[in-house]
């Protein structure tokens, strides 16, 4: 990783992703090995920036800012954590390592693969629960209510990084309703891709890239539409970090001449019980 960017991430976190890359099958980690060659690194960066400018930096910023927000939530006394669509994320290992009951939610195949990785590399602990739940077919509300370590009265942090995009509007509404009932007082940290801010070519590039890995972007909402939807379910805006802010606060402090993907936002909302 670039030294200036690398300096902004804790060693533990970088180690987690190094372990992850080694764990992935060869057909997936060849890219990482190729990036160690300067020429190939430049070529890949050029190609990615041509197809979808800002995609690379959006990942770096997403990891950086969400880590900051999670640390802040920990300082403010969050008591348990739910990570929707946890994927290969480090956050569950991080918060559970600090003693907080942490529930990583993902589809059965992904949850199993993740649990194998966590076990193999010593990230599993007594506070981390890898939950096999497809939120479209299983009620997350029922699942967590029946989980012996989930406490609905705990102040809960719900993280949905790169997640809501995979649900359509109806599925998103259903999930928000369940989360509202499950723990009335919680904080939500989510990402959003407001695709209307991309031009036709870059939008096509974005959606085809996702289709290439067999997935699809389903949530048809722009930034304002998404905020409006969340407010319908009693969420109040705490903070929105825009791609412009990420450019100004973070990227421009480095010598890296790349910007953050247009339309990318990190949003923190508080859910307050309507009563």
Ligand X SMILES: C[S@@+](CC[C@H](N)C(=O)[O-])C[C@H]1O[C@@H](n2cnc3c(N)ncnc32)[C@H](O)[C@@H]1O
Dist. CA 274–CA 259, nearest whole Å: 40
| Shortest distance, position 133 Cβ to ligand X, whole Å | 6
**With binding defined as CB under 6 A, does residue 106 bind ligand X?**
yes
Contact yes or no for 158/187 (Cβ under 8 A): yes
**With binding defined as CB under 6 A, does residue 104 bind ligand X?**
no
Contact yes or no for 179/186 (Cβ under 8 A): yes
Dist. CA 102–CA 80, nearest whole Å: 6
**With binding defined as CB under 6 A, does residue 193 bind ligand X?**
no
Contact yes or no for 164/192 (Cβ under 8 A): yes
Give, as ranges, the residues between 227 and 256 that touch ligand X (CB under 6 A).
Answer: none
Among the candidate windows 40-48, 120-128, 155-163, 257-265, which touches ligand X by CB under 6 A?
A: 155-163
Among 134, 154, 168, 196, binds ligand X (CB under 6 A): 134
**Mapping DSSP to helix (H, G, I), strand (E, B) and coil, where does residue 234 land?**
coil
Among the candidate windows 40-48, 129-137, 228-236, 240-248, which touches ligand X by CB under 6 A?
A: 129-137
**With binding defined as CB under 6 A, does residue 152 bind ligand X?**
no
**With binding defined as CB under 6 A, does residue 163 bind ligand X?**
yes
Please say whether the dihedral angle defined by the alpha carbons of residues 187, 191, 192 and 197, taken in this order, is positive or negative. positive
Say which DSSP state 260 is in.
P
Give, as ranges, the residues between 56 and 95 that touch ligand X (CB under 6 A).
Answer: 85-87, 89
Among the candidate windows 37-45, 148-156, 160-168, 222-230, which touches ligand X by CB under 6 A?
A: 160-168
Contact yes or no for 67/45 (Cβ under 8 A): no
Enumerate binding residues for ligand X (CB under 6 A): 85-87, 89, 105-107, 110, 134-136, 161-163, 166
């Amino acid at each position: 990783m670039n030294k200036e960017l690398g300096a902004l991430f804790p060693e533990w976190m970088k180690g987690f992703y190094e372990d992850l890359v080694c764990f992935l099958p060869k057909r997936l980690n060849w890219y990482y090995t190729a990036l160690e060659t300067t020429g190939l690194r430049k070529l890949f960066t050029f190609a990615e920036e041509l197809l979808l400018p800002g995609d690379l930096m959006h990942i770096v910023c997403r990891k950086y800012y969400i880590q900051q927000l999670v640390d802040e939530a920990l300082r403010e006394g969050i008591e348990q954590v739910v990570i929707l669509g946890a994927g290969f994320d480090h956050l569950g290992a991080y918060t559970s390592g600090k003693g907080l009951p942490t529930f990583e939610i993902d589809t059965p195949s992904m949850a199993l693969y993740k649990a194998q990785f966590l076990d193999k590399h010593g990230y599993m602990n007594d506070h981390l629960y890898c939950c096999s739940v497809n939120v479209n077919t299983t009620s997350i509300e029922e699942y967590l209510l029946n989980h012996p370590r989930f406490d609905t009265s705990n102040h809960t942090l719900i993280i949905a990084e790169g997640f809501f995009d995979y649900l359509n509007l109806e599925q998103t509404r259903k999930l928000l309703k369940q989360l509202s009932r499950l723990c009335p007082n919680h904080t939500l940290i989510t990402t959003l891709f407001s695709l209307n801010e991309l031009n036709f070519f870059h939008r096509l590039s974005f959606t085809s890239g996702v289709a290439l890995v067999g997935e699809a972007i389903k949530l048809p909402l722009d930034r304002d539409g998404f905020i409006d939807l969340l407010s319908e379910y009693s969420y109040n805006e705490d903070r929105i970090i825009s791609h412009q802010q990420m450019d100004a606060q973070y990227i421009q402090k480095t010598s890296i001449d790349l910007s953050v993907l247009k339309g990318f936002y990190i949003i923190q909302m508080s859910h307050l019980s309507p009563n």
